[in-house]
Amino acid sequence: MAEVTLRKIVKSYGALEVVHGIDLDIAHNEFVVLVGPSGCGKSTTLRMIAGLEEVSGGEIAIGGRVVNTLPPRARNISMVFQNYALYPHMTVRENLGFSLKIAGRPPAEIDKATDEAAAILGLADYMDRTPGELSGGQRQRVAMGRAIVRHPDVFLFDEPLSNLDAKLRTQMRVEIKKLHQKVKTTIVYVTHDQVEAMTLADRIVIMKDGHIVQTGTPLEVFERPANTFVATFIGSPPMNLVDGVVAGGAVRFAGDVSLPVPPAFRGRVQEGQRVTYGFRADNLMPAGHAMTGIGETAEIDLTIALAEPLGAETILLSELAGVEIQGKMYNPRPVAAGERLSCLLALDHAHLFDAETGASLRT
Amino acid sequence: MTRFRRYARDHAVPLALLSPAVLVILLVVLLPLLFSFYTSFSNYRLIRPDSLWDWVGFRNYARVLGDGDFWSAFGRTVLFLTVALNLEMLLGLGLALMVNRITWGQRTMRTIMMFPMMFSPILVGFQFKYLFNDTIGLVNNALQSLGLASEPIPFLVDRWLAFAAISFAEIWMSTSIFAILILAGLFAMPKDPIEAARVDGCSNWQVFRHITLPFLMPFIYIAMTIRSLDVARAYDIVDVMTGGGPAGRTELLWTLIARTAYDDARMGRANAMAYFSILLSIFFTWFFFRKLMAARRHLGAF
Ligand SMILES: Nc1ncnc2c1ncn2[C@@H]1O[C@H](COP(=O)(O)OP(=O)(O)OP(=O)(O)O)[C@@H](O)[C@H]1O
Ligand SMILES: [Mg+2]
């Protein structure tokens, strides 16, 4: 059993505090993804779990054992680094078997384990090459193989796919998902790519400036973002956000436009309250192209500024109360700039946030 | 001939511009080299210039090969090389690892580390000659005042003590070459493989043994190459400290060659010895370069 528990974890470099008291419970065999913009403290948190970075405050436990002062080798973890960190002077076989050799396992067992890992990752043909003679994708797989030969309690991944091209990244993403299903282990995975986070995670942890902003399943954080930061960070294109004032069951925007308060938020707002109205492009569509069964809707007339055809759908750029917003047309036809379209907004998927703090008004 | 003419005409300006350099190299390097090589086949003595034309074939080489003094100087030089290079490597490695860990005042430490290299070897020789002197030397005085020795220890007279004293001076002077080059290697070393090794279960010693040291080997071999050439031509420190004596007990190749050439004035024979000792230097250079290339091939990914 290897659950990972972080209690009030703080990290400071001198006087500079970069992680501010994080609490996180990761269950046995859970796949948790830490996601957030650059510099928010994801790597630092991961490296503290690995033991590569000293913990300035709080407590880290792996499998119920507090590990704060234990060196990495006493934690039974594996880590895949962003730039692979392979041993350049060893062959692929030696790279894979290194941890077992250090652990003093017999050569026969090492060979068996490395062959097994090589088979899973399709490395059998490269076993006698050195890392310098491999492509980026192959190196990435060696790094992964090195992590799995040991059957550790916890896998730590630090942006393992960020150096790969888009196609290979998609492919490796699937491989990692399969790997987790095959070798059930607790995984903590760091990325700043929200697509990776959504597709891989059992649970997503969204971080910003050294704080955890929201924790939840991919669908939870997508459908019920805790604040405007999560709303814009998760999902592509980012959620449309327009500032307005509550006035008689509706939110009134600049320029005398208004939209009804979404059903989930009725009774949670007061007359005259300043709010931010949020909705995704997926839920704003030309009336004639609307899907059926999208619940309560509101109608808005929009002037299309630009249409971006993506093939299966077309992204429509327009403007609401002086703010640029995006909608989607699901059965594309050519749209000219300047065309006026009557659009429907699915209110069940709209959100209200506090205009000052950005926090969701759902609770 | 016409082809050469055409080439000369087409490249007249570059050829003209190159000619002074070519001329200087011919005069300064090639001519003396050919001359010394010729004299090693003659009975040339400095005091009898006409003996330059006294061609003796391979007699100088044959004599040198059968000369016990030459071979003991040769052996002593190889031993000196082995002792000095290995100790300098170990000390330099230790020094570099220590300085690399200092976070405060590292610059100052690096500068201080270089001090011994700032002195002329002759002065270093004099300094140690007086330190180790058996009547007025600091070391002997200290040992006697502390009651650690009842009578003066003949540091520069006894065969092995003198060898140790000279090695000590050489090592004191040049350890910093190893330290600086290894430190450069430590600075260039990527952090990731070290962290990966720590996660893979290595203790500090195992990280050093399996990751750091292989990465440092090319730097160590570069230092070895430089220093093997340096030590193989060692002359000044030995000449100042013991003059190769007493009675040839500390004679190295080049002190022997210098004595044969200038004191005994037998230039032909000295040159024959010099060509043998150059073979030694060439061997060491070749040896360490091969090691260096192999180590670099290993680290191809960097
Ligand atoms: N050695 C250090 N000294 C001082 N500050 C540091 C140090 N290492 C990291 N930081 C700071 O800590 C913060 C978090 O860094 P961290 O590497 O965890 O970011 P990250 O979320 O992994 O970002 P990225 O997505 O760019 O990798 C950053 O603001 C960074 O500047
Ligand atoms: Mg990072």
**pLDDT tens for residues B230-262?**
888 888 888 888 877 777 778 888 888 888 888
Taking 90 as the threshold, does the pLDDT of residue B15 lie above it? no
CA distance B121 to chain A (A): 39
> Can you read off the two tokens belonging to residue B22?
């070519």
**Nearest-CA distance from B211 to chain A in Å?**
7
The size of the A-B interface in CB pairs under 8 A is 74
Closest Cα of chain A to B67: distance in Å?
47
CATH of the domain at A304: 2.40.50.140
Contact B286, B228 (CB under 8 A): no
* CB of A13 shorter than 6 A to ligand 1: yes
The band of B302, judged by pLDDT with boundaries at 50, 70 and 90, is: very low
pLDDT on residue B1: 61
Do A204 and A271 lie in a common domain? Answer: no
Judge whether A72 is closer than 8 Å to chain B, CB to CB: yes
| Whether residue A205 is found in the same domain as residue A336 | no
Task: Tell whether A198 is within 8 A of chain B (Cβ).
Answer: no
* CATH value at residue A43: 3.40.50.300
Distance to chain A for B49, nearest Cα, Å: 59
Would an 8 Å CB–CB cutoff place A89 in contact with chain B?
Answer: yes
Is residue A294 domain-shared with residue A184, that is, in the same domain?
Answer: no
Same domain, yes or no, for A249 and A311?
A: yes
Instruction: Kindly report the three-state secondary structure assignment for every residue of chain A.
Output: CCCEEEEEEEEEECCEEEEEEEEEEECCCCEEEEECCCCCCHHHHHHHHHCCCCCCEEEEEECCEECCCCCHHHCCEEEECCCCCCCCCCCHHHHHHHHHHHCCCCHHHHHHHHHHHHHHHCCHHHCCCCHHHCCHHHHHHHHHHHHHCCCCCEEEEECCCCCCCHHHHHHHHHHHHHHHHHCCCEEEEEECCHHHHHHHCCEEEEEECCEEEEEECHHHHHHCCCEHHHHHHCCCCCCEEEEEEECCCEEECHHHCEEECCHHHCCCCCCCCEEEEEECHHHEEEHHHCCCCCCCEEEEEEECCEEEECCCCEEEEEEECCEEEEEEECCCCCCCCCCEEEEEEEHHHCEEEECCCCEECCC
Asked if pLDDT for residue B277 goes beyond 60, the answer is yes
Query: Measured between beta carbons, which residues in chain B are less than 8 angstroms from residue A103?
Result: 201
Looking at the complex, report in whole angstroms how far the Cα of residue B302 sits from the nearest Cα belonging to chain A: 7
Tokens representing A278?
């949020």
- The residue whose two tokens read 């697509």 is A195
Residue that terminates a domain, selected from A232, A247, A263? A232
Q: Does B196 contact A146 at a Cβ distance shorter than 8 Å? A: yes
Q: Say whether residue A146 is in contact with chain B using an 8 A CB cutoff.
A: yes
Last residue of a domain, one of A184, A199, A232: A232
Q: Which long-range contacts (CB under 8 A, 24 or more apart) does B220-224 make?
A: B220/B89, B220/B93, B220/B178, B220/B181, B220/B182, B220/B185, B221/B288, B221/B289, B221/B291, B221/B292, B221/B295, B222/B181, B222/B292, B223/B89, B223/B92, B223/B177, B223/B178, B223/B181, B223/B182, B224/B85, B224/B89, B224/B288, B224/B291
**Amino acid identity of B62?**
A
Note whether A99 contacts B301, CB cutoff 8 Å. no
Atom of ligand 1 nearest to the CA of A45: 18
CATH topology for the B66-300 domain? MetI-like fold (1.10.3720)
Tell me how far apart the alpha carbons of residues A109 and A138 are, in angstroms, rounded to a whole number.
Answer: 24
Percent of chain B with pLDDT over 90: 22
pLDDT at position A289, please? 73
Determine the average pLDDT of the residues in B165-173: 90
| Residue A46, domain member (yes or no) | yes
Q: Does residue A11 line the site of ligand 1, with CB under 6 A?
A: no
Residue B8 pLDDT class (50, 70, 90 cuts): confident
Domain end call among A193, A217, A232: A232
Cβ contacts (< 8 Å) between A145 and chain B: which residues? Answer: none
Label residue A6 left, alpha or beta by phi (over 0 means left) and psi (-120 to 50 means alpha): beta
B202 compared with A137, residue with greater pLDDT: B202
* CA terminus-to-terminus distance, chain A: 35
Sign, CA torsion A156/A162/A163/A164 = positive
Does B200 contact A50 at a Cβ distance shorter than 8 Å? no
Looking at the structure, do residues A225 and A309 belong to the same domain, yes or no?
no
A181 lines ligand 1 (CB under 6 A): no
Closest ligand to Cα A44: 1
The 10s digit of each residue's pLDDT in B174-196 is 999 999 999 999 999 888 999 99
Question: Least CB-CB distance to A50: which of B199, B206, B299?
Answer: B199
> Is A360 a member of any domain?
no
Whether residue B103 contacts residue A14, with contact meaning beta carbons closer than 8 Å, is answered with no
Mutation choice for B interface testing from A70, A73, A76 by most B CBs within 10 A? A73
Question: A329 lies in a domain?
Answer: yes
CA-closest residue to ligand 1 atom 16: A41
Q: How far is the CA of A215 from the centre of ligand 1 (A)?
A: 21
Q: How does residue B300 score in pLDDT terms, banded at 50, 70 and 90?
A: low
Q: Is residue A188 domain-resident?
A: yes
- The verdict on a CB contact (< 8 Å) between A87 and B192 is no
Ligand nearest to the CA of A208: 1
Sign of CA dihedral A282, A288, A294, A296: positive
Closest listed residue to residue B174, CA positions, set B129, B132, B236: B236
- Kindly state whether residues A247 and A216 are assigned to the same domain: no
Interface test with A, best of B189, B194, B200 (most A CBs within 10 A): B200
Contact A86, A141 (CB under 8 A): no
Kindly state whether A70 is in contact with chain B, defined as any CB-CB distance less than 8 angstroms: no
Label residue A10 exposed, middle or buried (CB < 10 Å: 0-12, 13-18, 19+): middle
pTM equals 0.79
Atom of ligand 1 nearest to the CA of A11: 12
Q: Does A39 contact ligand 1 (Cβ within 6 A)?
A: yes
Question: Which ligand is the nearest neighbour of the Cα of A42?
Answer: 1
Q: What is the mean pLDDT of residues B137-156?
A: 81
Please, which residues have CB within 8 angstroms of residue B111's CB and are 6 or more apart in sequence? none
Which residues make Cβ contacts (< 8 Å) with residue A308, sequence separation at least 6?
Answer: A314, A315, A316, A317
Q: How far is the CA of B199 from the centre of ligand 2 (A)?
A: 17
Contacts of B197 in chain A (CB under 8 A): 87, 98
Output the pLDDT for position A221.
Answer: 94
Q: Report yes or no: B89 and B223 within 8 Å, Cβ to Cβ.
A: yes
**Is residue A363 in some structural domain?**
no
Residues A256 and A144 in one domain: no
Q: What ipTM was reported for this prediction?
A: 0.81
Least distant ligand from the CA of A17: 1
CB contact under 8 A, B196 and A85: yes
Q: What is the mean pLDDT of each run of 10 residues along chain A (363 residues)?
A: 90 93 93 93 94 92 92 92 89 93 92 90 88 87 89 91 82 86 89 90 94 94 94 91 91 89 90 93 85 84 90 90 90 84 91 93 84
Specify the number of domains making up chain A: 2
- How far apart, in whole angstroms, are the C-alpha atoms of residue A340 and residue A322? 16
3-state secondary structure of B243: coil
Residues A132 and A170 in one domain: yes
Pair A181, A63 in one domain: yes
- Domain containing residue A107: 4-232
For residue A50, which residues of chain B lie inside 8 Å, CB to CB? 199
Query: Are A211 and A275 in a shared domain?
Result: no
- The residue written with tokens 């987790």 in the block is A180
Average pLDDT over residues B257-276: 84
Looking at the structure, do residues A227 and A321 belong to the same domain, yes or no?
no
Summarised one tens digit per residue, pLDDT across range B36-87 is: 888 888 888 877 777 777 788 788 888 888 888 888 888 888 999 999 999 9
Q: How many CA atoms lie within 13 A of A92 on its CB side?
A: 27
The DSSP line for B249-299 is TT--HHHHHHIIIIIS-BHHHHHHHHHHHHHHHHHHHHHHHHHHHHHHHHT
Q: Are A36 and A55 in the same domain?
A: yes
Torsion of CA A229, A231, A237, A243, to 10 degrees: -80
Q: Is A206 in the pocket of ligand 1 (CB under 6 A)?
A: no
